[in-house]
Amino acid sequence: MISVIMSVYNAEKYLKEAVDSILNQTYQDFEFIIFNDCSTDKSTTILKQYEENHPKIKVIYNTENLGLTKNLNSAIAIANGDYIARMDADDVSKPNRFENQMAFLTKHTHIDILGTFSNDIDENGKIKRTRTVPVRHSDIIAMLPKFSPISHPTVIFKKASLAKIGFYNPKYRTSQDLEMWFRAASAGLIFHNIPDYLFEYRVDTTFLSRKNFQFRCNDCKLRLEGYKRIKLPWYKYIYAFIPLALGMVPNSIYMQLRRLDPR
């Protein structure tokens, strides 16, 4: 069984579309664990309606805002599934996402962490660009120092495998996925991406504002720690400062530079 985990904070605009995309999966052997992180918009009302009408959904209502990292770890702690699937409250999973990922994991039992290709969509659901990532483990590890080689919300991973490294590091409120990938790589866990577009990743007008200077400093710090874990040669540590450099350029130039991103 899959345990789908999602954290929600003021996500009313896209929440129904996100939840429905999980409920409408062709693969139905899952539970859906949602942490409502003290939302002040209509998210709470929306979630209560879903919880009342869908037995697969379990909603936990936080009494204080804990942030994504702690919510994900708390959801994993109560998960009953052998597999954990990520989902964000503003994205969309294609109907065959779980079916395709579970078919692959059943056939390739050595894989611990499995992602997919995805499409970036705007606030209206229009595709803005395709997001490809390395497919094979060796190529994923090669990209890891430069860019995140797995799109976090597309992931399904083996709960038992990630338990060996303690899941998400609560020290990080952002970029917690990248930090976990470094630890997973250093522990010898096996990555793979399915080269199918099974996910739609929301990149709306608030996308750049969420990646502020503090976010980029945090990203740089965890990269430096990650490089030590994977024993990256010292002269390649310059990769860690790419996020800081990008944060110093105007948004218009940043969007042009994104076109150079190989993913």
pLDDT at 111: 98
Structure-token match 């929301």, residue found: 202
Alpha helices in the chain (DSSP H): 15-23, 43-53, 68-77, 97-107, 137-143, 159-163, 176-186, 207-210, 213-229, 242-247, 251-257
User: For the whole model, what pTM was predicted?
Assistant: 0.90
Q: How confident is the model at residue 245 (pLDDT cuts 50, 70, 90)?
A: low
| Calpha distance 115→143 (Å, rounded) | 15
On the CB side of 31, CA atoms within 13 Å amount to 15
For strands 156-158 and 113-121, give the pairing. Answer: antiparallel
Domain 2-205 is of which CATH architecture? Alpha-Beta Complex (3.90)
Residues recorded for the chain = 263
Mean pLDDT of 191-200: 98
Mean pLDDT of 123-151: 94
- Nearby residues of 189 by Cβ (< 8 Å), 6 or more positions away: 112, 113, 161, 162, 164, 165
Q: Token pair for residue 80?
A: 């009953």
Q: Where are the domains of the chain?
A: 2-205
pLDDT at 257: 46
How many beta carbons lie within 10 A of that of residue 13, not counting itself? 15
- In tens, the pLDDT along 45-82 reads 999 999 999 999 999 999 999 999 999 999 999 999 99
pLDDT at 240: 87
On the CB side of 234, CA atoms within 13 Å amount to 0
